[in-house]
Amino acid sequence: MQIQYVASFDALVSTPFDEAMNAACWSRQLRGDFGEIVGKVEQSGNITVLEEADLLALDLREQGCLAREVLLGDMQLLTDHGAAPVLNLIRYYDRDDAVPFFPTDVYSWHADRAPIPTATFLCTYYGAASEILPNAQAEQKILVPEIRAELWQLYGGEEEGFEDWLSEHFYDLHYHARPDAQPVNLGIGNLWRLAVDCAGSGVLPCVHRAPVEVYGVRLLLIC
């Protein structure tokens, strides 16, 4: 009930979220060899951003060219919609170990936040895919008594400012999976639209996390 599957980009962007549904998926079987693109890119650091010019400069075989057409097409669809898509080749994300008992990196179950009404779009073309966690199977970490007590000790300020401090440091965006949780893998090639925490949204934000790149690099479009 939390996920609405659609058959087109127009349906993906126009299907309204509601109290029960906060994730929409354009389910697709894509043509092309995305692995050839991954293999031809000269990587720099743990995350390499690929621009349109970078893709066009690649010398690709037929299946690689088909994959490039898909990437350029998706980027154009999202741009025309008013989004700002970024295509990343990811070896790994930086880990957050500043607070050992409360990491806030993207490998943690988390929701996105925005100052204006919007949504998160993402698609994995190669490598491990993200997961989402049904809201009924997620528990906000700041509500766990033991964790909240440790955060209070870390805060060390006046009581009336504690909730604002939690929000400023994004602690309120992170979640535990309940023992009986059944995460949903977002799959390869599917374009997703996820609800975010923003004023006036009227729905719960979609809880998700990035995968550990156990299969090597990951090709991800996100905005």
d(CA 82, CA 136): 32
The pLDDT of residue 83 is above 90: yes
Q: What is the mean pLDDT of residues 91-112?
A: 87
CB contact at 8 A, 164 and 170: no
At residue 60, the pLDDT reads: 97
- Residue 43, CA distances (Å) to 32, 47, 54, 91, 125 in order: 21, 8, 12, 9, 17
Q: Give the percent of the chain with pLDDT over 90.
A: 80
pTM: predicted TM-score of the whole model, two decimal places: 0.93
Q: What is the mean pLDDT of residues 17-43?
A: 94
pLDDT in tens, 170-188: 999 999 999 999 999 999 9
Sheet with 131-133, strands from edge to edge, namely 184-185, 131-133, 207-209
Contacts of 221 (CB under 8 A, 6+ apart): 71, 74, 75, 78, 85, 86, 87, 88, 121, 122, 123, 125, 191
d(CA 132, CA 127): 17
Mean pLDDT of the chain: 93
At residue 187, the pLDDT reads: 97
At residue 8, the pLDDT reads: 97
Cα Rg of the chain, angstroms: 19
Label residue 99 by pLDDT band (50, 70, 90).
confident
Identify the H or E element spanning 89.
strand 86-90
Residue type, 161: G
Pairing of strands 3-6, 23-26: parallel
The pLDDT of residue 154 is above 80: yes
